Chain A
Amino acid sequence: MSQTDTNKPNETKEMELGKFGKFLKDNGIDSTRKDDSINVETIVISVKDLEPALRLLKTSSETKLNMLLTISGVDYTDRIDSIYHLWSYDHNDALVIKVELPKQSQANTDTVNLTSIANFWSAANWHERETYDLVGIRYLRHPYLRRILNPWDWEGHPLRRDYKQLVDALNDKNPHSFR
């Protein structure tokens, strides 16, 4: 990874806009292109552009990315990404959209907020609940933002990098645990 960075530093910084990036730019939404994720165009957009961009990509006859495959979250210690995978059956096309959410402070990591898209895309409902459960992004204005996989009384978000689970009677069998 570091080798490719030193070899072509310019390319990783300023990548040419792809098909969807150009389409969004024509409609007045800025985006930055990132490395493709397995031949699927990957773009980063800002928080305020997320809802208009998704609405546009979903309904426009040019893109028709009208299937939301999944929403996931990744913890990069200083920020958390919320990632949207879109798919178009009509054009057999796919797009990955990332939204970068900086953590307010290292100590108080529970304050990562983002506006929910479940109001106009109902497929997002459970995916946002799952991302909230495991990574801890709070989707504001979500109709029912509760834990979906873990029990209701779980403490913390297990896929955060700084997550530490207490050792109790149910998980003390393994002496070589990484926990």
Chain B
Amino acid sequence: MSELLNNDLNSTDLARENAALISPELADTVTLTSIDKAINMLSQIVSPIANLARSNSVWPLTFGTSCCAIEMMCVGMSAFDISRFGSEVFRATPRQADLIITAGTITRKMASALITLYEQLPEPKYVIAMGACTITGGMFNDSYSVVQGVDRIIPVDVYLPGCPPRPEAILDALLKLQQKIRTENYAKRRVQAYQQRPVCYVDYDCGRPLEDLLAMAMEDTSLALDQK
């Protein structure tokens, strides 16, 4: 018991012990507590079992922005049958999904929406960049409105080339992702995870954050009340 308490106090020692947990670029922003250490110990036991369960139930988000989405639909149907690998449950909301298959070209106007969707996914979350368009911009590479690869705006786990990739290729990418999930350690992922940001709502008519607009409206009403 006393040992545990000591550990609590010497959090710098703890940080040095667990330095391997933290990637170098995050080293000066992340500090580990004793809770993290406990989680680390536990996750060595729990992670392999939990990962096996999680990797066989990766629920994708229904996200298709162009032609690649047709192949994504195809892989959900009985000929290719993605449900053999536990991913048949395409969710219509990011709150219930684990994976975004970015099936299709991402334009600059869609980019902000995709970032919002990614931030709304609960951890742990994964991204498969499907098709040439989402890897480099594909054949629309030189267009004024196309984002040259989703890895410019969200982190990508598996790159899946092709224009469009065959449904078998999607299954292959999913199996690769499952392998990745099985080798994961919960504690490591938790430390390296991106900070979940609260979503910023923007009024698309005037392009200003709703918070600002609300503050302005409040100011206006208080002014009007004062004048009365």
Contact = CB atoms under 8 A, between A and B. Distances in A.
B142 A158 contact: no
A13 to B, nearest CB: 37
Given A170-B153, A174-B141, A179-B142, A150 B148 contact: no
Interface string B74-117: 00000000000000000000000000000000001101100000
A177 interface: yes
Given A177-B142, A178-B142, A179-B142, A171 B148 contact: yes
B206 A158 contact: no
Interface residues of A, number: 17
B10 interface: no
Nearest to A156: B144
Interface string A60-88: 00000000000000000000000000000
A169 B150 CA distance: 11
A158 B148 CA distance: 17
B16 interface: no
B161 interface: no
Interface residues on B, range: 20 to 34
Interface string A150-179: 111100001000010100011111100111
B205 A152 contact: yes
A163 B153 contact: no
A177 B205 CA distance: 32
A179 B145 CA distance: 12
Contacts of B108: 150-151, 170
A161 to B, nearest CB: 13
B167 interface: no
Contacts of B194: none
Contacts of B112: 151
Interface string B127-146: 00000000011000110111
A106 to B, nearest CB: 21
Contacts of A163: 144
Given A150-B145, A163-B144, A174 B207 contact: no
A133 B106 CA distance: 19
B157 to A, nearest CB: 19
Contacts of B141: 173-174, 177
Contacts of B144: 158, 163, 165
Contacts of A152: 204-207
Contact of B111 (A170, A173, A177, A178): A170
A130 B142 CA distance: 21
B109 A170 contact: no
A169 B152 contact: yes
Interface of B: 108-109, 111-112, 136-137, 141-142, 144-149, 152-153, 204-207
16 contacts: A151-B109, A151-B112, A151-B207, A152-B204, A152-B207, A153-B207, A158-B145, A170-B108, A170-B111, A170-B147, A170-B148, A173-B136, A173-B152, A174-B137, A177-B141, A177-B142
